[in-house]
């Protein structure tokens, strides 16, 4: 049963492509306000697909997704996406300055508002005039998070946001996620790093072959008793 504070609920969702390929089967999960739900599992387990369903970049072929109790299939997708933000694995930066990039999310935002979101992600105001091409991977990802925050989302979907970053930047982004969750945001964070899952996860969803595995298996994964390779085993 979903908890009362669950903002985003995946209710037995499945995804089957036109060609018959099955990406997800009966997955139930939720993102809870003020906490981080880590979606873990090996490559190809369906983690990113699950996340993309959250702000309707993909749609389920079975089951349903609820945002604040409302079936997202009945909502305006653009409005939903502004309430359920998304940060991708590789920082996606557009040509121009950091300020230009932030204004893609909100063209009418004042400079003061841009400075506020930059500070939220730990970047100084001078960054507004920096060219996006000149940013490091970690800085770029922070700008992407700041851009997502400009739409004032209640849920933030983060698809392996640290996989392309060095250890220092990785920890900085993790701290930022913990801070955002503390301020009430519901975060879903995809990872295939066991330690990271343990550090961040208030809830853990472990996936294998498009399915969510049971509690025992998930705990074993967290204890590192099950490696990603084990999880990707062809026992089905």
Partner 1 sequence: MNSTHIGWAGLVGSFALIVIAIALSSWQRLHLSRSIAWASARAAVQLLLVGWALRLVLDPHASVAWAWIWVAVMVVFAGLTLRQRVPEVPGILWLGTLAMLTVIVVSLAVIFGFGVFPIEGRTIVPLAGMMIGNSMTSCVLVGRRIVAEFSEKRDEIEARLALGHRWSDAARPYTRNALRTALVPQIETTKAVGLVFLPGAMTGLVLAGVDALDAVTIQLALMYLILGSVATSVSVIGLGLTRQLFTSDHRLRRLDRSAS
142 binds partner 1 (CB under 8 A): no
Residues 6 or more apart whose CB falls under 8 angstroms from that of 133 comprise 93, 95
104 binds partner 1 (CB under 8 A): yes
CB 148 within 8 A of CB 105: yes
Total of residues contacting partner 1 (CB under 8 A):
22
Q: Which stretch binds partner 1 (CB under 8 A): 38-46, 73-81, 197-205, 217-225?
A: 73-81
| Site for partner 1, residues 43 to 62, rule: CB under 8 A | 55-59
Task: List C-alpha distances in Å: 30 to 46, 68, 115.
Answer: 15, 11, 32
212 binds partner 1 (CB under 8 A): no
Q: Which stretch binds partner 1 (CB under 8 A): 6-14, 114-122, 145-153, 192-200?
A: 145-153
CB 201 within 8 A of CB 37: yes
The token duo for 111 is: 């400079």
CB 25 within 8 A of CB 14: yes
C-alpha 83/C-alpha 152 separation (Å) is 7
Cβ proximity to partner 1: between 58 and 202 the closer is 58
Q: What's the closest the beta carbon of residue 25 comes to partner 1, in angstroms?
A: 21
Out of 94, 119, 182, 233, the residue judged to bind partner 1 by CB under 8 A: 94
The token duo for 68 is: 């604040």
C-alpha 225/C-alpha 228 separation (Å) is 10
147 binds partner 1 (CB under 8 A): yes
Residues near partner 1, by CB under 8 A = 55-59, 77-79, 81-82, 85-86, 88, 90, 92, 94, 104-105, 144, 147-148, 151
């Amino acid at each position: 049963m979903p908890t009362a504070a669950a903002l985003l609920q995946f209710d037995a969702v499945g995804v089957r492509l036109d060609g018959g390929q099955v990406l997800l089967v009966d997955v139930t999960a939720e993102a809870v306000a003020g906490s981080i739900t880590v979606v873990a599992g090996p490559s190809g387990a369906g983690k990113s697909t699950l996340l993309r369903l959250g702000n309707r970049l993909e749609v389920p072929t079975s089951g349903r997704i609820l945002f604040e109790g409302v079936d997202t299939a009945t909502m305006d997708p653009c409005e939903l996406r502004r309430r359920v933000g998304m940060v991708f694995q590789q920082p996606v930066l557009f040509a121009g300055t950091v300020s230009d990039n932030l204004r893609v999310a909100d063209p009418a935002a004042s400079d003061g508002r841009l400075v506020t979101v930059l500070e939220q992600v730990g970047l100084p105001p001078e960054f507004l005039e920096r060219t996006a091409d000149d940013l490091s991977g970690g800085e770029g990802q922070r700008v992407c998070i700041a851009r997502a925050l400009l739409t004032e989302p209640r849920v933030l979907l983060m698809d392996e946001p640290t996989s392309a970053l060095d250890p220092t930047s990785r920890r900085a982004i993790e701290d930022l996620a913990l801070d955002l969750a503390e301020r009430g945001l519901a975060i879903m964070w995809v990872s295939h790093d066991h330690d990271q899952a343990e550090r961040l996860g208030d809830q853990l969803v472990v996936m294998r072959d498009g399915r969510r595995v049971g509690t025992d298996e998930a705990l074993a994964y967290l204890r590192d008793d099950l490696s990603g390779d084990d999880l990707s085993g062809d026992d089905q």
